[in-house]
Chains A and B, each alone.
Chain A
Amino acid sequence: MKTRHYCAFSRRAILLSATSLAVSLMTNGGVLATPAKAEAMLSMHIEEQTSWVRNFNPFDLAGRRQSTMDFIYEPLVIFNADDGGKPIFRLATSYKFSDDLKSITYVLRDGVKWSDGQPLTSADVKYTLELMLKNPATDTVGVGETVASVEAPSPSEVKINLKDVNTEFPESLADFPVVPEHVWKDVADPVAFKNENPVGSGPMTEIRRFTPQVYEQCRNPNYWDAASLRVDCLKLPQISGNDQMLALLPEGTMDWIGSFLPQIDKTFVTLDPKNNGYWQPPAETVAFQMNLKTGNAANAQAFNDLNFRRAFSLAMDRASMVDVAGFGYPVASQHASGLPPRFEAWRNKAAEGAADEWMAYDVGKANKVLDDAGYKKGADNFRTTPDGQPIAFTIIIPNGWTDWIDDAQIAAEGLRAAGLNVSVATPEYEQWQKQLLEGSFDVALNSRADGSTPFRGYYQSMSTAFGGRITSAATRYSNPKLDETFNAYRKATSDEERRKLFDEIQVIVADDMPMVPVFNGPTWYQYSTKRFTGWVTDKEPVMNPENHDNNRMRLVHLLRLKPVQ
């Protein structure tokens, strides 16, 4: 009995070991099976939401996922603000204005296919433009105001006829999404359509997985520039706020993020000093914007007086705003023109000098300027207008924006030291925006969006045409001379002419100080080299590195990345 048991055991053992040996030989043979290449998955965080909704409709500005533009829909031409606004041709290979400058022809790249295999032709571009012209609700770019009609003389040429001479047009078309006619012509309501399974021309068009907590957007099987693309998938986990981001960082799972991380060296870099990095170059100009058309007559009188605005500027302690309120991230404004540092190449030194004296922090001088201009102190020891009406205003800041709230408090302290009756209020963000659009506020701290050249920021915030229609144009500033210069710029035909006109714009703005610039906010950009390399850093400052929806260069940034082997 014992012997049999022993034999059986040993026989089983031999059989087992023989089989396992054979199996291991087969799998470790090496010749038969090549190991599958690991998929390059990039985890990124672009927008804060409490739950993902499957919406990739490029015409739904409010509802679309912020990985729709650039990654699903390839742009025609984009411009690099950090490289003097140089064009980078994507779907188009060139564009040319006609001799009378009232039409522009784009030449499309050959051989581009949609992600479902159909060819991308001028018919698609024509269709999309006409859709926007017919249906203003889909017009995310503003072509309704600039484009008269569009023609497709050949499958690779698109001729756009403009309503008026406008040499700025190519820059404004950078945000234009070309959609496939063969899909969208059957869509009943192009704004309500969720576009859950998009057909696109960009690098990442396939929605492989979508849950309310995470979605994966993967490689376009027919991408025209597949040779440059080394990332296979984008993974976007749902993150509801900065606090959640901070809690997630120690796990080391994120590659490309754009959040406000206080004390970033301590909260981010120390988690993985070899790989975690950031670059937060100064971005848009943040300024105190006075509502020049406010309903309060005394305030309106004061705000429209250049002396008052200059005194306001002298009471601003910009250094404290940057170091104390902003954790040292922003860069204080030094020039009255408010030119963002990224457009250093456009700087007109002639606009500085005397105008920049008003950018110093000198409460004593502020008091003197107000005294000389006739703003006497009333019975309550607060200043009144020269004809005796009391001046009192509130600075509004969005609720929860703690750094801006602190900036406003610092400003209020300075203004009170100059004898002005100032308070700070923090309505909810939606209410703050509403007050800016309605003009029912006195003073607000506000930023203005930049384009790929500095022109757009100035034009959209200080022209009469835009006054009060968008949030950047809250001051409702109206200066006929400036409007004239803006219009001349839009008709300019050469770079030298544009340079000259923009020099003039800087002089006008510096001298008249329509708003009081205080600092340039940081670009929110953090990265990790754990899984990918090729990141844009301060040592290689070639483009705007952020992954947010306002930055078209994020497409080029993606194509630079390659997985760590």
Chain B
Amino acid sequence: MIDYLILLSIVTTYIIAVLLTSFNNQYVKLLTIGFALIYFLWGLWHHKKEGSLHLQIILEYLVLAVLGSWLIIGIF
């Protein structure tokens, strides 16, 4: 349960930070890269804790984190 709350906190912080800096897209790009990196690390931590950390899962979180940040940065 704590894992889910941490993820929700990360998501909320990211969205608020973007709202506060949306006048400068350089900040938004950096925030997005940071968010994707933190999500990737969160995934590793969460699955390691559950004892289900495998190479496939590492790659899955990595691909989705890169894809997510590319979808935002690609807009500018």
Query: Is B one of A's binding partners?
Result: no
